[in-house]
Amino acid sequence: MSLTIDLTGRVAIVTGGGKGVGRGITERLLEAGADVLICGRSAPEDLPTAAGRTPDFVAADVRDVEQVEAVITAATARFGRIDILVNNAGGAPMVDAATVSPRFTEKIIALNLIAPINFAQRANAIMQGQDDGGSIVNIASVSGDRPSPGTAAYGAAKAGLVSATKSLAVEWAPKVRLNCVVAGLIRTEQAHLHYGDEEGIARVSATVPLGRLALPTDIGDACVFLSSPMASYVSGASLHLHGGGEPPPFLDAAKNTTGG
């Protein structure tokens, strides 16, 4: 017996859904049949397209509560309901924690922790009034699980997002399920900024047990599953998508020391 996920008739919002990881999430939701609305500070050069369908777009800075409310209003006006929220918008450049400005740190935490909590709150208000509730998926990061030098505030925010997800999954049950995707190293159109040229990307890929970086659609697959009836008993969970994780450096050091 084959298993398929059909989200036809479901309405999804994906923050930052026009590029990078968000684009892969949007594409997979469209392929599964969902109606999708994406938001971002500016419109993508070309909207994601999958199964001959494209999402609606609303310009919004997710750090601004009034703009978040405008996205929620647009989704309910267009589709009449909200079944799925994927809090994907986020990120941070590399900085020196010893010299970075407090204002910069505040912005990183606002984008990666406060914004998804606020967006989830507004989506929950709609979902609680629906007979079948809804699903919220927060995109976290392995940076919240292990040291994150150069992106300390980002790692702290992502750790906080995992914690908030667990708490809100209890507060908003049984109508609304909340889960996290804890993403590892991902190859997006900006991968070169983090990993260098193709040779650099290949070297980084070789450190992952499964031998490659994740693709945005890998994250999308997880979001489709967590948003579907197949995950109806999954809430407060953190799904690690990291290809097996990052082997501890001491293993290579010990091998080199022993001549293995």
The single residue of 57, 154, 195, 225 carrying the catalytic annotation is 154
Q: What angle do CA 167, 172, 178 make, to 5 degrees?
A: 65
Residue 259 neighbours by CB distance under 10 Å: 5
N-terminal to C-terminal alpha carbon distance within the chain: 47
**DSSP string spanning 218-233?**
HHHHHHHHHTSGGGTT
How many angstroms separate the CA atoms of 136 and 177, rounded?
A: 6
Q: Under a CB-based contact definition with an 8 Å cutoff, are residues 109 and 157 in contact?
A: yes
Residue 153's Cβ-side half-sphere holds a number of Cα atoms within 13 Å equal to 25
Provide the pairing of β-strand 238-241 with 176-183.
Answer: parallel
Is 233 one of the catalytic residues?
A: no
DSSP 142: G
What are the strands of the beta sheet with 11-15, ordered from one edge? Answer: 56-59, 35-40, 11-15, 84-87, 134-141, 176-183, 238-241
Which positions are catalytic? 154
